[in-house]
Amino acid sequence: MSRTALITGATSGFGQAALERFVADGWRVVACGRRAARLEALVQAHGSARVHPACFDIRDADAMQAALDGLPPAFRDVDLLVNNAGLALGTAMAQQASLAQWRQMIDTNVTALVTLTHALLPTLVARRGAIINISSVAGVYPYPGGNVYGGTKAFVSQFSLGLRSDLHGTGVRVTTIEPGMAETEFTLVRTGGDQAASDRLYTGASPMTADDIAGVIHYVATLPPHLNINRLELMPVTQSVAGFQVHRG
Ligand code: NDP
Ligand code: 8X3
């Protein structure tokens, strides 16, 4: 029986790579994002029986609800919610950071994620479905300039554990995936479109790929229904943690 996944941030990076994996495995996918042309290209590539485009800004709760209300019958029974849409903006120290950027990260990574989860929980409970939340190593390990981005991802990881507790006995699975450095449009977005900065970060570093993360998302989603992975932290071999700093003055 064909299952249905709703993937946010399906126009790029992890979300788009995950869509490709799920469609190839016979799933239907509700593909969410703001960039209509990219969503349309996904429908063209895979067909409207497999991919339904849901074009909305995830921070707009009314637009989100309208998109859910407008799902064609074949895409309404969502078995898997992949909360992937998100972003980091800037790497400024907190004392120099933009409050507007902080708010945009919170609105996208936190408020929109909980709003969509809240809207889909009745369906997911009825279908004994699954939720995969994309967090980050930035939510576990602090680094200079990570401030609010890391805070939003710590929220995602803790919210996921809370969902696990609340959904106890429903059969709904909840997993947090916490990736480290992966080459996508993430750094392009974070730097306000600085392709050279993005290239500098990834060149020679052998970062993870979007497809690496998509494979993990698909693996988690297709485990036997009695098995729940609570959280999974991943890094490229070239990345590790080295945290403390000491100021003497
Ligand atoms: P990309 O920038 O390639 O993709 C981000 C996706 O989020 C896009 O599809 C974008 O769609 C969507 N998105 C962003 N803002 C909104 C919005 N307001 N409304 C709707 N959709 C939105 O980055 P990644 O694939 O790397 O990021 C995916 C997730 O993984 C994010 O949550 C990120 O924080 C996380 N992550 C990334 C890591 C990395 O190193 N790349 C590591 C750890 C976690 P559109 O612009 O079309 O709206
Ligand atoms: C993205 C990973 O280390 O750039 O979440 O914050 S990092």
Ligand 2 atom nearest the C-alpha of 187 is 4
CATH superfamily of this structure's domain 4-234: NAD(P)-binding Rossmann-like Domain (3.40.50.720)
Q: Full-prediction pTM beyond 0.90?
A: yes
In the chain, what is the greatest distance between 2 CA atoms, to the nearest angstrom?
65
Closest CA to 130 of 196, 34, 219: 219
- Domain chopping of the chain, boundaries: 4-234
**pLDDT, position 149:** 99
Distance 244 CA to ligand 2 centre (A): 18
Residue 220 has phi, psi (to 5 degrees) of -60, -40
| Other CB atoms within 10 Å distance of the CB of residue 102 | 18
Please tell me the residue having the least CA distance from ligand 2 atom 4.
181
Ligand 1 atom nearest the C-alpha of 86 is 32
pLDDT in tens, 161-190: 999 999 999 999 999 999 999 999 999 999
**pLDDT, position 165:** 98
**pLDDT, position 38:** 98
**pLDDT, position 240:** 97
Are 21 and 218 in contact, with CB atoms under 8 Å apart? Answer: yes
Tell me the best of 34, 110, 117 to mutate to test the pocket of ligand 1, counting ligand atoms within 8 Å of each CB and taking the most. 34
Among all residues, which ones are annotated catalytic?
149
Handedness of CA 58, 62, 68, 71 (dihedral sign): negative
Tell me the best of 156, 186, 189 to mutate to test the pocket of ligand 2, counting ligand atoms within 8 Å of each CB and taking the most. 186
Sites in the chain below the pLDDT cut of 50 = none
Ligand 1 atom nearest the C-alpha of 87 is 34
Please tell me the residue having the least CA distance from ligand 1 atom 24.
13
